[in-house]
Structure 1
Amino acid sequence: MTRAKMFKFLAPLALTMVAALTLPLAPTSALAQELAFGSTRPSPDTPVSVSADALSVNQEDGTATFTGNVVIEQGDMILSAATVLVVYKEDSQKIASLQASGGVTMASGKDAAEAQNADYDIDAGIVVLTGNVLLTQGENAITGEKVTIDIDAGTATAGGRVRTTLQTGN
């Protein structure tokens, strides 16, 4: 890719950097990098649908463990993994958080992410992906060891040897 093509591609991004679904201009020299993720966050009251091969419920600590081909959907957000621990709010049937492990994949709109683990705080709208994280937006990609997604703000922060690939298209 020539520099002229790169600047032609990056100029519109500079104008819309605050908007959702945009990537940063270039990798930062700091340990973290800001980027966007997802288009909208489902309301915390939006039902969460879970399917899996097996379920184990622990009434004492208010958790449920789903194993085998776990797929969780809330609005247009989908999370899949080998195992997901669901932590319920105290004295409630509402979900407080999800802790996914084993080949985690998350998608929201046109954005997708893969990682070894994910922790999703439903009320805060924060997802923390760890372990060989790959985040894609169309043909653009970013990798790092940890990506924190703020679904409310539609942003994410990547850290841990971040690498970004931006496609210029023609």
Structure 2
Amino acid sequence: MQITATSLHASRARSPRLTARANRVAIGLAIGLSMGLGSSTALAAQADRNQPVKVQADKKVTKYQEGTSVYTGDVVIDQGSLHATGQRATLYLEDGELVRAVLEGRPATFRERDEEGNWVEGEALQADYRTAEGTVVLTDEAWLKRSGDEIRSDRITYDLATEVVEAGEEGGKSRVEMTLQPRNKEGGNGGD
């Protein structure tokens, strides 16, 4: 797999080992975000994993001792059909492995095609992907859309292992809004 990172204003030489690690984290973020609405997206994400990852930002700061890389300023992550954007991406590593990736923006966005060719899209002010828990948490003005179906809430949590989506918060502090498109007789939908 070819992995590249581009810092638009960087002129210093980077450690190839850490750059590759940071890009693997970006892959994790991208894949985690793209899996927000079900197994057909997961299959598309599998195909995208064989594509090169490209990360662009205005600035990148890597703290080797802390195991973090922070990309800031018009962050763009592309891999296959996946396209994710934000103003800041913070990637956390332990022993060279991804443990957490946080994408922030006004909003942070992602878009990817599922196995059926439909776009899966999402946005939030923050997307937090945690590998140990296997979860993606979209917070603040969160929105997901697939095949015309949409869900909105201040908080949306997706468990990658169980494919369980939770929206809203304890105590009902925020409302959940779901829009389901009618399906046609052939099993398709009226969306996209």
Instruction: Name the counterpart of 1:166.
Output: 180
* SS of corresponding position for 1:60: coil
Task: For residue 124 of structure 1, report the CA deviation from its aligned partner.
Answer: 3.9
Instruction: Name the counterpart of 1:18.
Output: none
Instruction: Name the counterpart of 2:137.
Output: 128
* Structure 2 residue 104 is the aligned partner of structure 1 residue 95: no
Instruction: Name the counterpart of 2:16.
Output: none
After TM superposition, the runs of 4+ consecutive aligned structure 1 residues lying more than 6 A away are none
CA contact (8 A) 2:37 2:144 kept: no
TM-score, with length taken from structure 2: 0.58
Instruction: Name the counterpart of 2:108.
Output: 104
Instruction: Name the counterpart of 2:152.
Output: 143
Amino acid at match of 1:100: L
| Identity level (%) | 29
Instruction: Name the counterpart of 2:128.
Output: 119
Greater helix proportion: 2
Structure 2: gaps (5+ residues): 1-35, 169-173, 183-189
Instruction: Name the counterpart of 1:62.
Output: 67
Question: What is the distance in 2 between the residues matched to 1:101 and 1:119?
Answer: 9
Larger RCO, structures 1/2 (Cα 8 Å, 6+ apart): 1
Amino acid at match of 2:69: A
Q: Deviations over 1:82-113 (max 9, x none)?
A: 101111113x2x32211111111123423211
In 2 relative to 1, CA 83–112 (structure 1 residues): closer, same or farther, beyond 3 Å?
Answer: same
Q: Deviations over 1:57-91 (max 9, x none)?
A: 1122111110122123567654321101111113x
Task: For residue 55 of structure 1, report the CA deviation from its aligned partner.
Answer: 0.6
Instruction: Name the counterpart of 2:30.
Output: none
* Structure 2 residue 86 is the aligned partner of structure 1 residue 81: yes
CA contact (8 A) 1:37 1:111 kept: no
* Number of aligned positions between the proteins: 132
Question: What is the distance in 2 between the residues matched to 1:78 and 1:123?
Answer: 24
In 2 relative to 1, CA 106–66 (structure 1 residues): closer, same or farther, beyond 3 Å?
Answer: same
CA contact (8 A) 2:156 2:166 kept: yes
Q: Deviations over 1:32-57 (max 9, x none)?
A: xxx944521657xx586432221111
Question: What is the distance in 2 between the residues matched to 1:77 and 1:152?
Answer: 20
